[in-house]
A and B are shown apart, each in its own frame.
Chain A
Amino acid sequence: MAKKDEKIEYVKNGKRLDGRKVDEIRPLKMKVGVLPNADGSAYLEWGQNKVLVGVHGPKEALPKHKQNPYKGLVRFTYRMATFSVPDRKNPRPGRRESEISKVSGEALEKSIFLERFPNCAIDIYVEIFDSNAGSRAAGITAASVALADAGIPMKDLVCAVGVGKAGGEIILDLNKDEEDAPDAVDIPIAIMPRTEEIVLLQMDGPITKPEWNKAVKLGIQGCNQVYEAQKVALREKFAKVEKGK
């Protein structure tokens, strides 16, 4: 980590601290169908992030007063394990987790045909085992794959990535060191790749309008890279079909 008065060059000769280019995401690996007792599940490793997602449902939404007779409910639970960060994290769900659960659930809601499941709920449990910036993007990406694995009808997958600014440069998929830069701006973005409809967009820190435009463009480009990885993971499960053809 940088000391207060020490100046770090976050991008040097087009390369970042960890050797990536500015528009390169960290290595991404996904596996589908890892939990036998869940209807759908996925395990994701994205750089140092490790995420396990389980999807249950659709099932009857209880308590009954939460039911909506016109459409189903998405209940997204984001949880960080106590050992997922350098200092022990209090297991009690805090403000940050409630917020991430809310916005991530709403992002995924957009892609699901919820009107087919009136009075029902779909439970998504996202467990972060190891976190190194961009864990909400990792959670959404893995959850979308797990939903597809559960056979829940969807318009499209949802893919997410973090984009932002560190050391005055707009970069894709920030890691923790870059996120801790003095001028850091973090913009998690999630899209449905077929229509490029944005379903999640957050920002902290100051940024100029041209930088913003550049960041969103880079974010969408990054999401498409994530989408390719999602497709590979889902197809891998049934790779035998193509072999047998």
Chain B
Amino acid sequence: MENKKEEMAMPKDAVPVAKETKAEAKPMPEEGRAEHKEKKIVIPGDLIAEGRKKLGQHVFIENGKIYSDALGITYPNSGTAYVVPLSGIYLPQRDDLIVGIVERETIKGYMVDINSIYSCYLSADKCRDRLEKGSIVSAKIDSVNEVNEADLFDVRVFYGGTIIRVVPAKVPRMIGKNGSMLAVLKEGTGSSLLIGRNGWIWSKGGDQKKLAEAINLIESEAHLDNLTVKVEAFLKGKKVNE
């Protein structure tokens, strides 16, 4: 039943990050790739575009020019000016699927740690099961207010399993384009997986050691190309070429 849940949650979650994972395509011939995937490292204050362009994330306008506000990667040939940051904390956004840990119980609900600035309040009416300190839940963000406090809905409780923590900025690479990387990870390790947008990954069963290694590999090479192929090779026990 858990598997079904993940399948349901995954495609929806993959939609908002699809843009950022543009680079995550199947291997293409070298020449064809260069023009699509020309990328550039930018640091805060670097010029991204001079003219008018659609604005994406982590950019700002000053005197009609577009600048980066973070350390990250940009794609100069893209129609949208945006920067994929290489680090940063998680700020909740509507409809994000997250993994949380119950921090404490209050009179009529629970406080759930979601690896963000604030913990979330979760009303006891919203969940059928009784939770306790340390329970692992997955939930979606219902709404976020102006000081980045979030409300949760669609809460599910997980029994057992462990949580692997990664940098939230690298979660899109963990999921891959249309969930390709997630599928590779599930197949290669045989684990049940749920990747929270907040950088926490719940996993149970399968080859946990291999999973942790694969996730480490993705995290350390999140800015490189052809990662899915590399991880697939790694999980199959082939030697990963540097």
One of B66-74, B156-164, B181-189 at the interface: B66-74
Does B224 contact A119, Cβ atoms closer than 8 Å? no
Of the candidates B38, B45, B89, which one forms a contact with A156 in the assembled complex, judged by CB atoms under 8 Å apart? B45
One of B1-9, B80-88, B95-103, B202-210 at the interface: B80-88
Task: Report the interface size class on chain B.
Answer: 20 to 34
Residue of B nearest to A59 (CB): B117
Closest 7 CB pairs between A and B? Answer: A151-B88, A156-B45, A151-B87, A154-B44, A153-B69, A148-B71, A118-B147
Of the candidates B37, B38, B87, B146, which one forms a contact with A40 in the assembled complex, judged by CB atoms under 8 Å apart? B87
The residues of A with any CB-CB pair to B shorter than 8 Å are 39-40, 57-60, 69, 111, 113, 117-120, 148-157, 192-194, 230-231, 234-235, 237-238, 240-242, 244-245
Does B44 contact A245, Cβ atoms closer than 8 Å? no
CB distance from B169 to the nearest CB of A (A): 6
CA distance A69 to B37 in the complex (A): 41
Interface centre among B62, B70, B73, B169 (most CB of A within 10 A): B70
The residues of B with any CB-CB pair to A shorter than 8 Å are 34, 37-39, 41, 43-45, 58, 60, 62, 67, 69-71, 73, 85-89, 117-118, 146-148, 169, 221, 223-225
27 contacts between A and B (CB under 8 A): A69-B147, A111-B44, A118-B147, A120-B117, A148-B70, A149-B71, A151-B87, A151-B88, A153-B69, A154-B69, A155-B62, A155-B69, A157-B45, A193-B45, A234-B43, A234-B71, A235-B41, A237-B86, A238-B223, A240-B221, A240-B223, A240-B224, A241-B73, A241-B223, A242-B41, A245-B34, A245-B38
Does A152 contact B147, Cβ atoms closer than 8 Å? no
A238 with B86: in contact, given A153-B58, A194-B45 (CB under 8 Å)? yes
CA distance A154 to B71 in the complex (A): 9
CA distance A58 to B87 in the complex (A): 13
**List of B residues within 8 angstroms of A193 by Cβ:** 45
CA distance A118 to B44 in the complex (A): 21
CB distance from B203 to the nearest CB of A (A): 22
Residue of A nearest to B43 (CB): A234
Does A157 contact B87, Cβ atoms closer than 8 Å? no
For the A-B complex with A148-B44, A235-B43, A244-B224 known, give 15 more contacts whose Cβ atoms are closer than 8 Å: A120-B117, A150-B88, A153-B58, A153-B69, A154-B44, A155-B69, A156-B44, A156-B45, A157-B45, A238-B223, A241-B39, A241-B223, A241-B224, A245-B37, A245-B38
